[in-house]
Amino acid sequence: MAQVLLIEDDVAFCKMLEAFLTRKDFDVRTAFTAESAFAILEEHPLDLVITDVRLPDKDGLEILAFAKKKHPDIPVILMTGYAEVPMAVEAMKKGAFDYISKPFQPGDVLDKINAAVDDRATGEALPRKREENPDPPKKTKDPVADTPSAYLKGLSDASAKLNQYIDLVAPTTMSVLIMGDSGTGKEYVAKSIHEKSKRAGKPFIPVDCGAIPKEIASSEFFGHKKGSFTGAVDDKIGHFEEANGGTLFLDEIGNLSYELQVQLLRALQERQIKPVGSSKEIPVDIRVIAATNEDLEAAAVKGDFREDLYHRLNEFSIHVPQLKDRGSDLMLFANLFLKNANTELEKEVLDFDEEVITVFENYQWPGNLREMKNIIKRLVLLADGNTITPGLLPRKMFENAIGVENDGGLYDKDNEKEMILNALERASGNKSKAARLLKIDRKTLYNKLDLYEIKT
């Protein structure tokens, strides 16, 4: 179990994030000041530090310096507001693993945490300090200039089917259940449905159901009256009232407790809610879009999820394909994320080296679009010039099995050596050409040549 130190002076947010990470099997220690964090760093072995860049007594750079002094190999992730991004960039130059901009969903930081813990376990080097680029920046190529957000329709067959379903259900009042692996862009699909519906001008309220502590879940969804429980110092409007007239998006709906499932079903059926501590019913007019990466139907059969709520949410279902199944869309997304990273980091990276594109095309992208977005942002930050080069890529991207296409179709690792020898023969010993035939980058080919002791 990975040991994580979470440093955040917003106590409520800190506790919420702590609860979320604990449910994800992390051993979390918390500190609300830098001095408290320093004491923990002195006394306890840790695998990761997550810190806000602004604390009452120190800033993120000072915390980073102290952590690196005590534990040189410990990864540090910074949480930052938009105005503090320059400090986060400076921290990356000084050895921070990554940063994440507030506001964010807990699931976003989970991907970065897993990447940091995995990289430390495999011994991958942390980001190196970027040299200043002596060349004047060139005008950025803008392959997706007309794309206003991180949602792209895509050109692949899988994307065409997805967009057909979005266009079909958006104008209706039906509840929608969006299914798909983590990071496939389920929230963007939900937003697209909302924006194409008759409720487009009304609120779109996203809720991460896995990030809400059970004790305050009813208050978060339905609101509360002042004095209704300890800590209720003011009246609070819940998510249902916030979304009134618009769309309520319930992400990772399978994480809701059974008790809250009962309350949610009642609210959806009766179209009215009762805040905690109130005797007055409040009518609400909302459309619900839910999302999950679990098999809710199987969970309903097993009794882990209410079957009546499942059918209430699943008036229409949409499956979001994995990134690896959206072949012709891959570089469209990559170029969009490149554009967005350039804007956020105030850089001018033009494009991707051809070998990088080859790696992208052969990588399985287990974290899907979220993983690609995070990787490309990191690559842009680390790039010294105007092109993303293979040397900047994370090690894990080179560890995929080769996917070579030949007369016999795709091959696997069982006949890898034979296929490499055949490719070298067809390329007359030219390694660059052989790598292109194998659809891998040269670095991976060299590693395979060493592995199989192939002399050329």
**Which pLDDT value is given to residue 122?**
58
**Which pLDDT value is given to residue 87?**
73
**Which pLDDT value is given to residue 107?**
66
pTM of the entire predicted model: 0.60
With pLDDT > 90 as the criterion, what percentage of the chain qualifies? 35
**Which pLDDT value is given to residue 224?**
87
Mean pLDDT across 184-205? 94
Q: pLDDT (tens digit, 9 = 90+) per residue, 27-39? A: 899 998 888 889 9
Mean pLDDT across 128-142? 37
**Which pLDDT value is given to residue 400?**
56
**Which pLDDT value is given to residue 106?**
65
Residue (of 255, 250, 257) closest to 312 by Cα position:
250
Neighbours of 337 (CB within 10 A): 21
Q: How confident is the model at residue 450 (pLDDT cuts 50, 70, 90)?
A: confident
CA distance 215 to 220: 10
Using the predicted structure, report yes or no on whether residue 178 has a pLDDT greater than 90: yes
Domains identified in the chain and CATH numbers? 3-122 (3.40.50.2300), 157-162+174-323 (3.40.50.300), 326-398 (1.10.8.60), 405-451 (1.10.10)
**Which pLDDT value is given to residue 327?**
82
Half-sphere exposure of 309 (CA within 13 A, CB side): 26
Using the predicted structure, report yes or no on whether residue 141 has a pLDDT greater than 50: no
CA distance 59 to 80: 11
Residue (of 97, 122, 132, 123) closest to 112 by Cα position:
97
Structure tokens at 134: 């002596």
Asked if 360 and 158 touch (Cβ cutoff 8 Å), the reply is no
CA separation, residue 233 to residues 88, 191, 227, 276 (Å): 35, 33, 6, 13
**Which pLDDT value is given to residue 132?**
38
**Which pLDDT value is given to residue 121?**
61
Q: pLDDT (tens digit, 9 = 90+) per residue, 359-392? A: 898 888 999 999 999 999 999 999 988 999 988 9
Q: Which residues pair with 291 in a beta bridge?
A: 178
Q: Taking all residues of the chain, what is their mean pLDDT, rounded to a whole number?
A: 82
Residue type, 280: K
Q: How confident is the model at residue 19 (pLDDT cuts 50, 70, 90)?
A: confident
